[in-house]
Structure 1
Amino acid sequence: MTLLLRTTAGRILEVHRRVLEAMWAYTQVHPKNTEAGGILVGHERQQGNLVLDRFTSPQPGDRRTRTRFHRSVEPHQELLNLMWLASGCTRTYFGEWHTHPEPCPTPSSIDLRSWRKHLKQEEARENGLHFIIVGTAITRVWHANQGGRDVTLIGETHTEFRV
């Protein structure tokens, strides 16, 4: 099943279930679990819908604690480059994801600063960027347009993980 959401630009974002399920494997259900994260990767359909069907998982060099995740640039960029080439140059950077050790995740001030920094960069392009936080009970998705300061919650779903 695909999660269908409407972006702030009025486009439909299709988030593949297998992407969510793979992220849910990093849900912080135990006190010793550290935050995890990576980048979101997808492509645009001819009809204008956006398809989020790939992501990167935590990589060597990422800094992970119980309440912080800092993504190392190089290994995630290398994976994105491979996905870009393997897709015939159609899959691209869609945004960021990470986990929080709380049931219904809310972006921290650090998250919001980081997201706004990404939105100012060329990587945001015309589709804006998407941000996913996996909480222990709810997974939430935000969207913002390039250069925008407002990051808008566009949807959520129950976090489903296997212990």
Structure 2
Amino acid sequence: MNENWTFDVETLGTVRVANDLVSSLSQYRQFNHTIPESGGVLMGSFLNSNGALLIDNFTFPQKTDHQGRNNFFRSEAHNNLVHNIWQQSGQKTTYIGLWHTHPEPIPNFSFVDANDWRNALNISSYEGDFLFFMIVGTKSIRCWVGEKKRFRNSISLISEVQIAAK
């Protein structure tokens, strides 16, 4: 994959996911039963007032996270990393969403994932009304967009990218 993964989000604009980010996230794929779920936070920057967004940074699994074959709990360490990256970037690189892995070729979110995402939309501090949620499977990465709305938040599958074989 030589080009960035791009997709359009209605009322937001074009979203670009850096090729390096896709490559880095794909390193955490769960190809066998000894590899636990991993996850972290997605970060990026708004490129212009028209809503163009670049997702190009992430936090990697921390020692204080809880990882199992089919579960992952993100520890508070990620919040500190996000804050430090935000400060070091001159407050340009910001919290964009969450990522984690699943041991399936084409990942789908679980009930636990949906609850986590709804909590992130309702409780987290972030710029704008959108958060992105990526799940890394063994053959593809899928991205959902969550939109904070006045009465009821929405979460929709927005795009998928195939990952090169290991």
Short-chain TM bin: over 0.9
1:8 and 1:145 in contact (8 A); partners too: no
> Alpha-carbon deviation of 1:161?
5.1
Residue of 31, 42, 45 corresponding to 2:44: 42
Partner of 1:67: 70
Once the two structures are superposed, residues 7-40 of structure 1 have per-residue CA deviations (whole angstroms, 9 ceiling, x without a partner) of 2434111100101111100000112110000000
Partner amino acid for 2:104? Answer: E
Task: Could you list the structure 1 runs, at least 4 aligned residues long, displaced by more than 6 angstroms after superposition.
Answer: none
Q: TM-score under structure 1 normalisation?
A: 0.93
> Alpha-carbon deviation of 1:79?
1.2
Change (3 A) 1:82 1:124: closer
Distance 1:154 1:54 in 2: 19
Residue of 153, 160, 165 corresponding to 1:156: 160
Change (3 A) 1:8 1:124: farther
Residue of 18, 21, 34 corresponding to 1:19: 21
> Alpha-carbon deviation of 1:124?
4.0
Aligned residues: 161
> Alpha-carbon deviation of 1:66?
0.5
Instruction: Give the structure with the higher percent strand.
Output: 2
- Establish whether residue 136 from structure 1 lines up as the match of residue 126 from structure 2: no
Partner amino acid for 1:160? Answer: A
Partner amino acid for 1:131? Answer: F
Gaps of 5+ in 2: none
Identity of aligned residues (%): 32
Once the two structures are superposed, residues 107-129 of structure 1 have per-residue CA deviations (whole angstroms, 9 ceiling, x without a partner) of 00000011001111252442410
1:142 and 1:153 in contact (8 A); partners too: yes
Match runs of 1:91-110 below 5 Å: 91-110=93-112
Gaps of 5+ in 1: none
Partner of 1:146: 148
- Establish whether residue 51 from structure 1 lines up as the match of residue 54 from structure 2: yes
- Establish whether residue 4 from structure 1 lines up as the match of residue 11 from structure 2: no
Q: TM-score under structure 2 normalisation?
A: 0.91
